[in-house]
Chain A
């Protein structure tokens, strides 16, 4: 939901300038998720549903601790569980809180054809405006994290808002507030990256995780949600977190070269046909045929 104190710097399917672009001196907000201190309690899942007033759907038990296989239109925040055997034979239980990553260059927004259905605020939050959503599902194809989900009844797409309503009032998102271990942090992107970097270094230097690192993928311009991972070289272990996410090639092709080619062809075609008509005119005139006929059967 849009908030008056949040200004918009990017708009989906929008012709012309964007009202909030370069109008605000605001820091980019960021959520830090330290997977190494997550205990998988799911307090964040409950807090998300509570705060956002989402109707509860059925959980799916598949012999894991996971609430359901993937996020839903009404379940924006889901902890993914993975049992991972390390090279030395020891077992690790990896838990990752999965939700919208709030990309700096959002693929959903690039793919969306509906004016104002997806916006990015100057603080970096990517938000869906369901009133403007037309239900085409293009955002689903644009997301490298498979996050947007469609409500089958209303044909509108939903996802985590990073609690824009709370953030615009100076509060932290509901999930952050609920976390009992303090593995979730919220603040400016710079502060979060700093904190994450320190934590990763600590893991490398003192906790025998030489590959620990920060997940802030550059392929999508960086994300508004960053992770600390025990093994940053292998993010797929954490419930399929993509190693190098980027806006899908299909969306880039379609919004880039294909669009240009199409527009040039359309306008060129119209102009070309018009000029052709000016130059050559009609092939023949039917009136002349009719006029010529009584004159004794023109062949």
Chain B
């Protein structure tokens, strides 16, 4: 992740390189499709979503493929970020202070690294849910093709699939809220890749220190 691979405006630092941004948006596109078609199958009141997306049959046909794409991008995230997502003592402190975070008193928060504890929770929540969704989804995909198909496995899979999907929706809503509304600058960072120094210092001071280095003269 060398900053030289793209031009960063003055007063900004690179937060997400191209691979990270691309992966994010592949996952986002796949997830939104999965969410819309999944919700159509979740409730009759949302069945129109499937009609809007080309019909319920098409939705049923493409949903598993979009799921594979989504899992592939989540796996790529795992490869890129798993090490950065390790829980630390600072994260425990962060969770203890989460009420300050949720009430916008960020100055009272323990310094976060590249990812704060909430973001790490989001990551691992999505990672494990995706794994569950993949396994249950494969069992539900084409029961007629597999000799080993069992009714019990399918019944459990339907439950797991719905529960895991609901869990990711909770994560997704908070993710959207944080990225689009609460943390101004976050949305731009996953498109253009950079954040302002003020953003980095405010939300990820430990990370900022790490990339700028202890030696660099602090701004006064």
Contact = CB atoms under 8 A, between A and B. Distances in A.
B213 interface: no
B4 interface: no
Contacts of B219: 297, 299
Nearest to A277: B181
A113 B44 contact: yes
Contacts of B59: 134
B81 interface: no
Interface of A: 13-15, 111, 113-115, 132, 134-138, 140-141, 146, 149-152, 155, 248, 250-251, 253-254, 258-259, 261-263, 265-266, 269-270, 273, 276-277, 280-286, 289-290, 292-293, 297-299
Contacts of B201: 299
Contact of B196 (A135, A137, A290): A290
From B61, B173, B202, B203, name the one whose CB has the most chain A CB atoms within 10 angstroms: B173
B198 A289 contact: yes
Contact of A140 (B45, B106, B154, B170): B154
A282 B177 contact: no
A282 B182 contact: yes
Interface of B: 11, 40-45, 47, 50, 56-57, 59-61, 102-104, 106, 140, 142-145, 151, 154-156, 158-159, 162-163, 166, 169-170, 173-174, 177, 181-185, 188, 196, 198-199, 201-203, 218-220
Contact of A293 (B11, B42, B140, B145): B11
A150 B155 contact: no
A250 to B, nearest CB: 4
B177 A250 contact: no
15 contacts: A13-B44, A113-B44, A134-B60, A136-B41, A137-B140, A150-B144, A253-B159, A258-B159, A280-B104, A282-B183, A282-B184, A289-B185, A289-B196, A298-B198, A299-B220
Contacts of A261: 166
Contact of A283 (B11, B56, B184): B184
Contacts, number: 137
Nearest to B181: A277
A251 B155 CA distance: 7
B104 A277 contact: no
Nearest to B201: A299
Contact of B145 (A152, A248, A299): A152
A14 B182 CA distance: 38
Contact of A115 (B44, B158, B203): B44
Given A141-B154, A289-B199, A134 B44 contact: no
A13 B143 CA distance: 21
B162 A136 contact: no
Contacts of A297: 219-220
B42 A135 contact: no
Contacts of B182: 277, 282-283
Contact of A136 (B140, B156, B170, B173): B140
Contact of A254 (B45, B60, B162, B218): B162
Contacts of A286: 184-185, 188, 196, 198-199
A228 B152 CA distance: 29
Nearest to B157: A141
Given A137-B143, A283-B183, A273 B173 contact: yes
The 8 A-B residue pairs with the shortest CB-CB distance in the complex, in nearest-first order: A289-B198, A250-B155, A15-B44, A134-B60, A113-B41, A286-B184, A152-B144, A150-B144
B196 A250 contact: no
A283 B177 CA distance: 11
Contacts of A266: 166, 169
B43 A134 contact: no
Contacts of A289: 185, 196, 198-199
B196 to A, nearest CB: 5
From B50, B106, B155, B219, name the one whose CB has the most chain A CB atoms within 10 angstroms: B155
